[in-house]
């Protein structure tokens, strides 16, 4: 049984450049916020599944982020690495309320195993 969402304000959309990122510190560790479009923000664990590189320092493109260390490509929506890369990172639900970015730390959007072994 999952907990009810617990939304936490972590910033304002204007604090993240378009196709940019920002890191927020939470009790669960560092979470990277990615602004992939004017009104679309994603929240992922700030750790590449390959070697733990900071995804927040990567290049945001086409709904994905490329890790700055070894060019692993991660889907922002699911946290899964794009083939031929492997692995996944935890994603968190995000909502925008009058420009405020809120994330739910009670759980990930990932709930069922995918063919890659990641939960989606």
Mind listing the pLDDT tens digit for each residue in 23-79? 999 988 999 999 998 889 999 999 999 888 999 999 999 999 999 988 999 999 999
Question: For residue 44, is it within any domain?
Answer: yes
Range name among 4-8, 73-77, 90-94, 115-119 with the lowest pLDDT average: 115-119
Residue 28's domain comprises 7-104
Percent of the chain residues topping a pLDDT of 70: 85
Question: For residue 66, is it within any domain?
Answer: yes
Q: How many domains does the chain have?
A: 1
The enclosing domain of 37 has a CATH number of 2.102.10.10
pTM of the predicted model, to two decimals?
A: 0.85
Question: For residue 76, is it within any domain?
Answer: yes
Question: For residue 118, is it within any domain?
Answer: no
Q: Which residues pair with 59 in a beta bridge?
A: 66
Taking the CB of residue 38, how many other CB atoms lie within 10 A of it?
A: 7
Please name the residues in contact with 17: beta carbons below 8 A apart, sequence gap of 6 or more.
35
């Amino acid at each position: 049984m999952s907990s009810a969402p617990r939304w936490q304000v972590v910033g304002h959309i204007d604090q993240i450049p378009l196709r940019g990122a920002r890191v927020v510190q939470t009790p669960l560790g560092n979470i990277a916020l990615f602004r992939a479009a004017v009104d679309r923000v994603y929240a992922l664990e700030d750790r590449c599944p390959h070697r733990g590189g900071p995804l927040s320092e990567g290049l945001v493109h086409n709904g994905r982020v490329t890790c700055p260390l070894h060019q692993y490509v991660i889907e922002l929506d699911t946290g899964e690495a794009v083939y031929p890369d492997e692995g996944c990172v935890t994603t968190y639900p995000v909502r925008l309320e009058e420009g405020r970015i809120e994330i739910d730390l009670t759980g990930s959007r990932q709930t069922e195993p995918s063919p890659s072994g990641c939960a989606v």
